[in-house]
Amino acid sequence: MIYIKLLIVFFQIGLFSIGGGYAMIPLIQEMVVKNSGWITMREFADLVAISQMTPGPIGINAATFAGLKAAGLLGGIVATIGCVLPSLIIVLILARLYRRYGNVRIIQGAFKGIRPVVVALIATAGLAIINIAVWHGETISMKTLDVGALAITVAAFAAMRFRRINIIWIMLGAGALGVLEYVFTIV
């Protein structure tokens, strides 16, 4: 049955992709485009583009999209569940271990070494995201600079630093400013 097949395929994708979103892409391509033919190569390219401009993790996006194409809405839901299930099982075990042994000296030592690394990783990813938002992912120069995007980033940053504003409002405000810029380009 197609639903069971979807569940199994995306369970495998969820299980074998370590390292987040972009590590999943080649695996999805192999299993969903080549082996099962649920989506075409063209649809897959569209999917990658859509994933970059829609909310949510790319792995979940891909699962939903492929499931929908293969077997409608229920297919999308089943594929998503399949993709999340391995995480749920493995991470829950890790969470229990962390709760139980998190205070053991050697584990504390390991995390003490890891925490500054995580800060560095977030900083690294942050720079890439700022580059995408303000320079559209191109080489940083005055020519590629998106002045509107820079203005929104600076305004949002200032709003957060000087006042404790809920980040949901920050996001809504930033989106509204983007729309406002569009209004200015047409009048």
Partner 1 sequence: MKIDVRFYLTLFKTTFYLSAFTFGGGYVIVPLMKKKFVEELEWIEEREMLDFVAIGQSAPGVMAVNTSILVGYRLAGMPGALISTLGTVLPPLITISILSIVYKTFQENILARYLLKGLQAGVAAIILDVTITMIVNVFRKKEIVSDLILVVSFILAFFLKANLILLILLFGISGALASVLYRNK
Footprint (CB under 8 A) of partner 1, residues 25-54: 46, 49-54
| Cα separations in angstroms, 54 against 1, 41, 91, 149 | 30, 20, 25, 18
The secondary element (H helix, E strand) that includes residue 74 is: helix 58-101
* Structure tokens that stand for 44 in this block: 């897959």
Min separation Cβ 21 and partner 1, Å: 4
Give the whole-angstrom CA distance, residue 2 versus residue 130: 41
User: Between 31 and 133, whose beta carbon lies closer to partner 1?
Assistant: 133
**Binding-site member from 64, 70, 71, 78 for partner 1 (CB under 8 A):** 64
Distance separating alpha carbons of residues 50 and 25, to the nearest angstrom: 13
Which 3 state secondary structure label does DSSP give 102? coil
**Is residue 152 involved in binding partner 1 (CB under 8 A)?**
yes
Q: Binding segment for partner 1 among 1-9, 28-36, 94-102 (CB under 8 A)?
A: 94-102
Q: Report 159-178 residues binding partner 1 (CB under 8 A).
A: 160-161, 164, 166-168, 170-171, 173-178
- Cβ pair 12, 35 in contact under 8 A: no
Encoded tokens for 163: 């006042």
Q: Rule CB under 8 A: which of 74-93 touch partner 1?
A: 76-77, 80, 83-84, 86-88, 90-92
101 binds partner 1 (CB under 8 A): no
The residue within the footprint of partner 1, chosen from 20, 45, 138, 147 (CB under 8 A), is 20
For residues 146 and 135, is the Cβ–Cβ distance under 8 A? yes
Residues 123-142 that bind partner 1 (CB under 8 A): 123-127, 129-130, 132-134
| Contact between 4 and partner 1 per CB under 8 A | no
Q: Which residue from 29, 25, 26, 31 is spatially nearest to 11, judged by alpha carbons?
A: 31
* Using rule CB under 8 A, residue 147 touches partner 1: no
Q: Is there binding between residue 187 and partner 1 (CB under 8 A)?
A: no
